[in-house]
Each structure stands twice: as structure tokens, then as C-alpha cells.
Chains A and B, each alone.
Chain A
């Protein structure tokens, strides 16, 4: 029982971290139609900026600096680069962000070296929030989860219940009309991009401390974040939340499964017992890393617009 609760909790919190990163990606896509391949790089930059600032401003100052710094970098990317290729279409935007992701990775290596850096959770935050059986549940994990939930609530309320949200949503549906009404649509888009990047920066600043901060952290999460957004439905914030939690719980729970793919398929009767023992003798527990992709495949086959996506996609 204890094990199940811990597994579920671990999965949920990992899912929430995934949501923190993917929310910005799905926001930017939903609002601006940009599929930002550099989004996971913003996550990495958040961690590195926070790491660099921790020495001067302390841990919390570092987190704030990482978030705002990445938001600023996002703003600059939008203003100086993306804006100029927008009129050529979405493919050009996609290629540009793809290039940016390489540039950011190599830049990080130039400034911080090719190895992992020491950006740990401070000693004062290393304590158990509560215990379940023999497991002392770390406080920082709970903090990551709580931040993600607060973030979701804040974005949701901002878009749904405020005047800014109203204008942003209107700008997405009909930018020309909003412009005609006297709103600065290009500033709204820049702001959206900065917010989306900043959210990834915040996730990086916290995730980098809890996990590790190294030049590969963008590559590690880059693909899975896309899986989250596709499964959730491109552009849908609540879809991204559901998909993150599903994937988080799934990859955590599968580790406990003590059967192989062959056994599973043989039981259903798709393959013979012989094939199950030889060719398909792959323990399901070993597939935690590829399972999200399987899920994406299923979603694309059965419901191509994703869990909560609309018909535009």
C-alpha cells in the first residue's frame, strides 16, 4: 500500500514538473502558432542562470533571476529573430527555433563547460515533508508540485477572468480586428512569448536544483515535452496538465510491472509462447523511457487532436 501511494505521488509530482515546462510550449503554440523547438533550451537556460545567480543573490534570488532572465531572453528571441521570419510562415519559425536550440546548447558549453555543474538544493530545504511507511518524502518535491499547481491556477485565472486575458484570447482568434480596436497585438505576442519562456525558466531553476544541471538537460526533456503537448492537444493548457500527469504516473508505475511484452501479448493471443520467450522477452519495467512515445502513437491514431485539443489542429 505504502509503495503504491509513494509511486503515485512520485508520478504526480514528476508530471507536474513536466507540466511546468510544457505549459509555456502549449501556450506559445496556442496563441501564436509557433512550435518552439527551443523550448526545452529555455528550461536549461533557467537552470544555468539560476545556478550563476545563486552565488550572488542566494537560492531564492537565483530562482527569480532564472525565471526573469529566461523571460527576457524569450522576449529578445521573439523581437529580434522570430518576428522577422513570421511572415514567411510557420515552417521557417520552426526551423529558426530548431537552430536556436543548438545554439543555446553550445553556448552553455562555452560558458559553463561540458560537465554537470554543482547547483544543489540548499541544505535548509533538504528535509522530509512527511513520511509514508519507511519513505521520508522530500520537501523539495512537494514544493515543485505546489509551484506547478499555483502556476496553472495563475495562468488559468489570468486568461479566463482578466481583461488582459480577454485581449490575448481575442488577439489569437482575430488579430486584425484587435489591432483595429487599438491594441498593440505585436506587444501582446512578445509578452506571451516572454511569459511562456519564463515559465520554462522557472521550471529549469527548480528542476535543475532538484535533478541535475548539465548541458544535456534540454535534450533529455525536449522530446518528452513535445509528447506531452501532442497528447494533451496542441494549444490546450488543461490538456497539457492531464497529459503531464498521465505520463508522469505511467512512467513511474511501469517500473513496478513484473511481466514482459511477450507474456502480455501471448496472454491476449497475438503471439505464440515461443516468440514471447525469445523475441519479445522485453520486461515492461525497462520501457519507462519509451512508453510516452507509445502513448503518443496511440493518441495520434485514435484521437489525433489530442485529449483536449480543438479541431483547428
Chain B
């Protein structure tokens, strides 16, 4: 939705509440995400999640009577756009920023936040990173003012390998086929690093350019030559669809283990090629039992679709943000440092288990579901006859990885 429309949408119920509400100063949150351009599919995922969390929070009184007002800013998927929208949002009065894009966009957001905080130490801003999985955000670039609400490739690879080893799906020969940028390299490093722990041999690695390769058949043939049983990939979007298509039409007898198979459209585009492949999911209603199913049903009733992929990360971000706000006492203006402390110390309930934010590196500690694409899944997706059948739900303790030694957080 256009920022102005969003503003109006937030203002109308506020006016309806009458004098008391009109006096309350809204807490402004800027949601930076690509809404146009080639990454528009990313921003489209987040729209339904905002109202679903924020509306009930405001209805229950918001932050001590002040409503939370989330405005969406379109960064167009470019770092220049992200920098421009940051300036606009900060001028509009936002001090809480949600960065919901790729790692390069989040890096831009983080640089902008750091600069703002250096210049305005008395009026700091914070960044909540929704979708960027680059290791650096909780490693060398970790910051007191930024939080990561998703996993790293290390966390997902570890979860996948752990569960697939237990069920015997992993096999002895593992291959790594990665998009050639930070996240893919991290995934490759994680795959190599875990070889001993889970008793497999990395028989080959390959990297491909991101969103530039149309025909993956040569990558598939190269992999076939070393006969892997499982192929790890951090690929997403059309890359992942094309890889699955190429593997399936060439009859490659290996299963894929990935991170983003549950993005909207992937099952539809890959068709039967998706069956039997594994993914580490943030949320899976079936794995959450009654609570999970109730959450899914409520979300579906409000938005007309089930939460998948990074939608779940956005829901987690907003839920943890509003949960932390409840613990910040009333003041003329929301004290950001008190909010940070509340974020670090509180446990937030979530249908799959409690969520928390590790104070040392601001990495979300979350349960993960390792699922396999199957026709027996409780919920079918994308209008196909396939869905994600949970293999195992891992608790936050089980998915946790040690703090990155490169993170030297300055706490002020």
C-alpha cells in the first residue's frame, strides 16, 4: 500500500476513537521493502502481515495508549532507493525501521542507521532485519541497534543436516550448489564444515550467478557425474525453480535441501519437480499442532492465504516488537534503549515454541521445521496438490549456533 494510504488507513480508526485517541502520539514504524522492480515479489509477501499483528495490538491500547503506525516505503530493491527511503522515513518521524529485503539492502539500511545514531546519539533509531541472512549482520557488522529476525545459512544447513541424518535421508554423498554471493558462500562453508559432524562427504561444489542463468542443465549434469544423494542450495526465487526443473526433467536422482522452497510460487512453478525435496521452514502449521493450526487459520481468515517463507519472519518481527513494547513504561516518547533492553530480555510466545533475542549478537533464537514437499501434507500450497509435510520440529535450543566470534558489540 502507498505510504499515504497507509497513513490514512491508520488515521481513520484513530479518529473514530475520539478525543482520547486523538491526543495519543503514534509510534511510527517504517517498513522498508521492494514494492516495485524485479524484487517486488519480496515486498508483496509482507503486506498481509502488518495489519494482522498491528491491528489487534492497537485495538488493545497499543503502547500505553499510543497506536503503532506502520508505513510501507518502497525501496525499489536498490540500495540507492533504500538510502532515499530511509531519509524520507526518518524525516517522517520514524525511529523504528524494519528492513525487509535482501542482504545488500539490509547492509544499506544498517549503514544509514549507524550514521544517524552517530549524529543523533540522543534520538537513536533501530533496525529490525527481516529477511537478510548474510552472516555479517550478526558477525563483523553486529550492532547494538540492529536485530536479525531470521536465520543464517549455518543455522538452516545445520537443522537440515541434523534432521535428514536422523531420518536417513541425507546419505553419504553431499553436493553444494550455491548462488554466487555472500549467502551462497556461507551455505557452502556450512555444508563443508558440518561434514564430519553428520558423517557425509562433500563430493562437489558449484556456484552459479544469481538470476542470470536460464538453463541449469549443465550444472545438473556436472552434479550427476559425482552421484550425490543430497544437494544443499541456498538458491531462491526463479533460480531455485529453474534448478528443480532442470534436475527433474533430466532425471537427476538426488534430493535438494534448501532454505526458500516455500516462497510463494515456487511449488507452482516447479510442479512435480518439487516433490521429495527438503526445506528448513520458519513456520509450518502442521508442525505446530493445534496452536499452529489456529494461528494459520486466523491468518488465513484475515488475509486470504497461509503464512509461508519470509511472511513468517515478518510476523515474528512485528510480534516480538509489539511484545517488547508492552514492557516499556509510558513516556512522552518511546525510549529506544528501553525497547532494546525489553527486546533482549523478553520471551515471546509463538505457535511453534518461545522466541527470544540473544543479547550477545542480536540473533533471533527460534524453532525451525524441517519439511519435505509431499502430496500428503495437511495444507496444499499455490493451487497445487503439494505442500510441506513436517519431518521434525526443532526447538530454539536445538537450532541455536554459537555466537560468531567476529561480533564485538558496543553496548551504548
Q: Does the CB pair B219–A255 fall under 8 Å?
A: yes
A81 CB–B CB distance under 8 Å = no
State the CA gap A128–B221 with chains docked (Å). 16
Q: Does the CB pair B269–A10 fall under 8 Å?
A: no
State the CA gap A119–B241 with chains docked (Å). 12
A residues within 8 A CB of B167? Answer: none
Q: Does the CB pair A117–B269 fall under 8 Å?
A: yes
B50 CB–A CB distance under 8 Å = no
Q: Does the CB pair B241–A212 fall under 8 Å?
A: yes
Q: For chain A, residues 196 to 220, give those with C-beta under 8 angstroms from any C-beta of chain B.
A: 210-217, 219-220
Q: Does the CB pair B209–A289 fall under 8 Å?
A: yes
State the CA gap A126–B251 with chains docked (Å). 11
Q: Does the CB pair A138–B38 fall under 8 Å?
A: no
CB < 8 Å: which of B212, B225, B264, B266 contacts A220? B212
Q: Which 5 A-B pairs have the closest CB atoms?
A: A289-B209, A115-B265, A289-B212, A118-B268, A116-B265
8 contacts between A and B (CB under 8 A): A7-B218, A10-B218, A14-B214, A115-B44, A210-B245, A286-B180, A288-B208, A288-B212
Contacts A120-B271, A135-B250, A212-B241 given; does A219 touch B38 at CB 8 Å: yes
A residues within 8 A CB of B264? Answer: 115
Q: Does the CB pair A220–B268 fall under 8 Å?
A: no
B residues within 8 A CB of A217? Answer: 238
Contacts A115-B264, A252-B217, A255-B222 given; does A290 touch B382 at CB 8 Å: no
Instruction: Knowing that A116-B265, A215-B38, A288-B213 touch, tell me 20 more A-B residue pairs with CB under 8 angstroms.
Output: A7-B221, A10-B215, A14-B217, A113-B44, A115-B265, A115-B268, A118-B383, A118-B384, A138-B250, A211-B245, A212-B270, A214-B241, A214-B269, A219-B211, A251-B213, A251-B218, A283-B207, A286-B209, A287-B209, A288-B209
Q: Does the CB pair A114–B241 fall under 8 Å?
A: no
B206 CB–A CB distance under 8 Å = yes
B residues within 8 A CB of A141? Answer: 217, 249
State the CA gap A253–B219 with chains docked (Å). 10
Q: Does the CB pair B208–A211 fall under 8 Å?
A: no
A residues within 8 A CB of B242? Answer: 211-212
Q: Does the CB pair A215–B40 fall under 8 Å?
A: yes
Q: For chain B, residues 235 to 251, give those with C-beta under 8 angstroms from any C-beta of chain A.
A: 237-238, 241-242, 245, 249-251
Contacts A118-B269, A255-B206 given; does A215 touch B214 at CB 8 Å: no
A residues within 8 A CB of B250? Answer: 135-138
State the CA gap A289–B213 with chains docked (Å). 6
State the CA gap A114–B38 with chains docked (Å). 9
A220-251 vs B: 1/0 string, CB under 8 Å?
11001000000000000000000000001001
B36 CB–A CB distance under 8 Å = yes
Minimal beta-carbon separation of A176 from chain B (angstroms): 42
A residues within 8 A CB of B206? Answer: 255, 285-286
Q: Does the CB pair B251–A220 fall under 8 Å?
A: no
Closest to A126 in B: B249
Q: Which residues of B contact A (CB under 8 A)?
A: 36, 38, 40-41, 43-44, 180, 206-215, 217-219, 221-222, 224-225, 237-238, 241-242, 245, 249-251, 263-266, 268-271, 382-384
Q: How many residues of chain A get a CB closer than 8 Å to chain B's CBs?
A: 52
CB < 8 Å: which of A116, A121, A137 contacts B238? A116
Q: Does the CB pair A286–B207 fall under 8 Å?
A: yes
Q: Does the CB pair B218–A256 fall under 8 Å?
A: yes
A109 CB–B CB distance under 8 Å = yes
A residues within 8 A CB of B268? Answer: 115-118
Q: Does the CB pair B221–A10 fall under 8 Å?
A: yes
A residues within 8 A CB of B209? Answer: 286-290
State the CA gap A253–B237 with chains docked (Å). 24
Most chain A beta carbons < 10 A, residue from B268, B382, B383: B268
Contacts A220-B238, A288-B209 given; does A114 touch B249 at CB 8 Å: no
Minimal beta-carbon separation of B13 from chain A (angstroms): 28
State the CA gap A94–B347 with chains docked (Å). 57
Minimal beta-carbon separation of A262 from chain B (angstroms): 16
Contacts A106-B36, A219-B38 given; does A118 touch B271 at CB 8 Å: yes
Q: Does the CB pair A216–B219 fall under 8 Å?
A: no
A3 CB–B CB distance under 8 Å = yes
State the CA gap A212–B211 with chains docked (Å). 12
Minimal beta-carbon separation of B34 from chain A (angstroms): 10
Closest to A10 in B: B217
State the CA gap A251–B216 with chains docked (Å). 10
B residues within 8 A CB of A10? Answer: 215, 217-218, 221
A134 CB–B CB distance under 8 Å = yes
Contacts A126-B249, A214-B265 given; does A116 touch B241 at CB 8 Å: yes
CB < 8 Å: which of A6, A7, A134, A220 contacts B214? A220
Contacts A115-B264, A220-B212, A286-B180 given; does A214 touch B238 at CB 8 Å: yes
State the CA gap A140–B266 with chains docked (Å). 21
B residues within 8 A CB of A120? Answer: 271
A residues within 8 A CB of B241? Answer: 116, 212, 214
State the CA gap A58–B245 with chains docked (Å). 21
Q: Does the CB pair A252–B44 fall under 8 Å?
A: no
State the CA gap A69–B146 with chains docked (Å). 50
Minimal beta-carbon separation of A92 from chain B (angstroms): 25
State the CA gap A3–B220 with chains docked (Å). 11
State the CA gap A106–B210 with chains docked (Å). 22
Contacts A220-B212, A289-B212 given; does A136 touch B251 at CB 8 Å: yes
A residues within 8 A CB of B212? Answer: 220, 288-290
B residues within 8 A CB of A145? Answer: none
A residues within 8 A CB of B269? Answer: 116-118, 212-214
State the CA gap A105–B38 with chains docked (Å). 9
